[in-house]
């Protein structure tokens, strides 16, 4: 049962509980058949036995193939029985194959004695041998050894990435893992740490970005931790989708500073989509509002209203700031003003402030000035724009006749 606890949990974690249960039963049956045949060959009788040791030995055989590189630590009590009072022991680390090999040789010796003398032992040695051998054969048939090789290289790479000095063959091992499993987030992240251990590098930055993208779906907490590592070494933000997802993780972790940084990166990204930008503005404003930082939240609400005045996300901003939700017509005017005001200076100001030959604002009676739209649906067209912007959003199109 100790072997089942020590080795079975490791095997089940790697091959899945359904396959583990099936192989447990099959190897147990194979061990039973081996015992019956051995007993019949030895004395011509049909033997019988009771126990699960054949199936456990089968799991040991599978472990020998799937986890051949694993080591076990055995505490040897120095003080003998007095170690129960003073738990002082010498810890010995042995490769698991050594333990399994000794178990196999012990059963082989006992099995040979039973062939010569059926009453030599009450232990089903041939059941153990049959189960273990069948487990090894089934592991080879299912190609479980391939996973062991990949895991061995990954383990070497992880140790190298965690080492403070040097990284030995870790980089080479990790690249071998990625040759067979390109989406191994552990391998990509470990390789990113190796390539960033002593200085920043383009490959390290790309590997971190790739690892974080893989971890966001599988392990969000690890993705957030990897990003914090990345941020200490590299100053460039990740792609907008990743930064938005990280902001949500940090917000759930109550790390407002990191969440705000991620959202600011999304807002400032030159290639961010309008949908993602307005969602980032709303999320940042809402988060700061809940934290009691009203001044900062208001600034984000203002930008959201200015750029997306008629969107659903802007409705909360209007309510929060105590403003009336504008009509569709007012929304169109505000959008036009935003586009005009962002036009480059060399084409925006067609006529300076003042209204010598201009007109007064129909809303606030301030002077209006001519401006040409530099982009958007009205690009190239002339408008009268109130000089009281942004307090007044009045825009009057100029007839092109």
Q: What is the CATH number of the domain that holds 194?
A: 1.25.40
Rounded to whole angstroms, the Cα distance separating 380 from 343 reads 11
| Residue 226 near residue 216 (C-beta atoms within 8 A) | no
pLDDT at 131: 93
Q: What is the pTM of this model?
A: 0.61
In a domain, 250, yes or no: no
In a domain, 210, yes or no: yes
In a domain, 335, yes or no: no
Phi, then psi, of 360 in degrees rounded to 5: -90, 150
Q: How many domains does the chain have?
A: 3
In a domain, 264, yes or no: no
Q: Which helix (H) or strand (E) holds 298?
A: helix 294-307
pLDDT at 311: 81
pLDDT at 337: 54
- Look at residues 87, 116, 142 and tell me which one is the last residue of a structural domain: 142
Are 227 and 346 members of one domain? no
Q: Name the residue among 69, 53, 75, 49 with its Cα closest to residue 2.
A: 53
Query: Nearest-5° angle of CA 54, CA 59, CA 63?
Result: 145
Q: Name the residue among 73, 74, 58, 64 with its Cα closest to residue 21.
A: 58
CA distances from 141 to 137, 144, 293, 298, 322 (A): 6, 8, 63, 65, 71
pLDDT at 136: 93
In a domain, 218, yes or no: yes
Q: In 124-201, which ranges are continuous DSSP H helix? A: 125-141, 144-162, 170-180, 185-195
Are 22 and 153 members of one domain? no
Are 214 and 102 members of one domain? no
pLDDT at 329: 47
Are 120 and 181 members of one domain? no
| Residue 315 near residue 328 (C-beta atoms within 8 A) | no
**Which ranges of the chain have pLDDT less than 70?**
72-90, 92-94, 118-120, 166-168, 325-359, 362-365, 374-379, 388-394, 396, 399-401
Are 105 and 152 members of one domain? no
Are 115 and 169 members of one domain? no
Structural domain boundaries enclosing 390: 342-397
Are 158 and 133 members of one domain? no
In a domain, 131, yes or no: yes
pLDDT at 81: 64
- Look at residues 108, 127, 142 and tell me which one is the last residue of a structural domain: 142
């Amino acid at each position: 049962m100790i072997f089942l606890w020590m080795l079975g949990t490791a095997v089940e974690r790697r091959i899945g509980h359904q396959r583990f249960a099936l192989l447990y039963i099959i190897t147990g049956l194979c061990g039973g058949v081996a015992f019956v045949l051995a007993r019949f060959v030895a004395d011509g009788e049909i033997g019988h036995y009771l126990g699960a040791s054949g199936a456990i030995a089968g799991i040991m055989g599978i472990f020998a193939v799937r986890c051949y590189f694993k080591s076990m630590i055995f505490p040897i009590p120095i003080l003998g029985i007095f170690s129960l009072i003073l738990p002082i022991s010498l810890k010995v680390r042995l490769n698991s194959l050594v333990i399994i090999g000794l178990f196999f040789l012990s059963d082989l010796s006992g099995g040979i004695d039973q062939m010569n003398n059926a009453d030599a032992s009450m232990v089903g040695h041939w059941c153990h041998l049959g189960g273990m051998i069948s487990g090894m054969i089934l592991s080879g048939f299912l190609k479980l050894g391939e996973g062991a090789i990949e895991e061995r290289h990954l383990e070497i790479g992880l140790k190298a990435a965690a080492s403070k000095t040097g990284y030995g063959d870790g980089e080479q091992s990790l690249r071998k893992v990625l040759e067979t499993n390109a989406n191994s987030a552990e391998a990509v992240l470990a390789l990113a740490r190796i390539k960033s251990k002593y200085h920043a590098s383009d490959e390290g930055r790309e590997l971190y970005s790739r690892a974080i993208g893989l971890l966001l779906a599988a392990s969000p907490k690890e993705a957030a931790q990897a990003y914090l590592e990345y941020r200490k070494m590299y100053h460039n933000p990740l792609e907008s989708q990743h930064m938005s997802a990280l902001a949500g993780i940090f917000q759930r972790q109550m790390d407002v500073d990191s969440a705000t940084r991620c959202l600011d990166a999304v807002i400032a990204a030159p290639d961010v989509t309008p949908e993602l930008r307005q969602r980032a503005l709303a999320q940042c404003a809402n988060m700061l509002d809940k934290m009691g930082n009203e001044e900062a939240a208001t600034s984000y609400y203002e930008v959201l209203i200015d750029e997306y005045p008629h969107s659903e996300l802007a409705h909360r901003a209007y309510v929060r700031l105590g403003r009336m939700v504008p009509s569709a017509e007012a929304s169109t005017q505000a959008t036009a003003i935003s586009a005009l005001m962002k036009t480059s200076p060399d084409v925006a100001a067609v006529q300076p402030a003042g209204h010598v030959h201009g007109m007064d604002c129909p809303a606030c009676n301030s002077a209006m000035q001519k401006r040409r739209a530099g982009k958007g649906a009205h690009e190239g067209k002339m408008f009268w724009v109130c000089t009281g912007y942004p307090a007044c959003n009045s825009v009057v199109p100029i007839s092109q006749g």
